[in-house]
Amino acid sequence: MPRYFLEVAYRGENYSGFQVQKNANTIQAEVEKALSIFYKKSYSLTGSSRTDAGVHAYQNFFHFDAENEISDSEKDIYNLNALLPPDIVVKNFFRVKDNAHCRFDAVLRGYKYFIYHKKNPFVKDTAFFYPYTLDLEKMKIAANLILQYEDFSSFSKKKTQVKNFNCKISCSEWLEEEGILVYHVESNRFLRGMVKGLVGTMLRVGRGIITLNDFQKIIESKDRSNADFSVPSHGLFLVKVVFGEPLRDEK
């Protein structure tokens, strides 16, 4: 059966996350609905990264199988977008190898969390207003300390079905972009709530509520009750998903 990848972007504030759920609207549900209307057939989608409720994405992927080859032209992308809500867009749509898998073939995922200090009506829905004095240098040291660890049990929410809590983080840094404070992190995988837990706990370092030594102890404790997950979802963006092998079917 031919397999296709859909690259999507979305604002997540109106959805209960990425993956389809009972009695709640999700990104997956809206995309499946648009596909079923346009192609007059139901398709079951598999997602590459499961963003939580309220989280946005500049880039995420689905794959699905079709009984027969279907068009992946610019015209089809246009028509699918016409059926989707204004806060979800199909950016790309292409045939891939039959064994390509948008979740298991992804080797790296990147997130950014955006924070602003002064009232700004233009970013209030996509960044966290945090009007406190922060020691950015200490936060940068904390971000660098994260690279020394692989077990992030302390930053995983409860009720998550994973075999282990190990993540290979390759980038962890605090940046400033046009007056916005940004935490940028890349890893082979992320645990549920992990980025929000890291950000919330590092903000405590920045405010002097905990020390850098305390921060290390929180990582090493492997106890989620020591971390701070309180930052809101609307400041978090999945910014990229990277695949290790060429995926396109060149037939």
Contact 52, 233 (CB under 8 A): yes
pLDDT at position 228? 97
Q: Over range 77-100, report the average pLDDT.
A: 94
Q: Which of 52, 98, 151, 249 is catalytic?
A: 52
Q: How far apart are CA 240 and CA 237, in angstroms?
A: 9
Q: Is 213 exposed, middle or buried (0-12, 13-18, 19+ CB in 10 A)?
A: exposed
Is 135 known to be catalytic? no
pLDDT at position 250? 59
Q: How far apart are CA 79 and CA 182, in angstroms?
A: 35
Q: Return the CATH number of the domain spanning residue range 3-104.
A: 3.30.70.580
Q: Within 13 Å, how many C-alpha atoms sit on residue 78's CB side?
A: 3
Confidence of residue 247 (pLDDT cuts 50, 70, 90): confident
Q: Where are the domains of the chain?
A: 3-104, 107-239
- Least-confidence region, from 23-32, 67-76, 226-235: 67-76
Please list the alpha-helical segments (H only) found in the chain: 27-39, 74-83, 136-146, 194-206, 212-221
pLDDT at 33 over 60: yes
| pTM (predicted TM-score) | 0.93
34-85 pLDDT per residue, tens? 999 999 999 999 999 889 899 999 999 999 998 888 887 899 999 999 999 9
Tell me the fold of 107-239.
Alpha-Beta Plaits (3.30.70)
CA 244 and chain centroid, separation: 18
Q: How far apart are CA 11 and CA 233, in angstroms?
A: 11
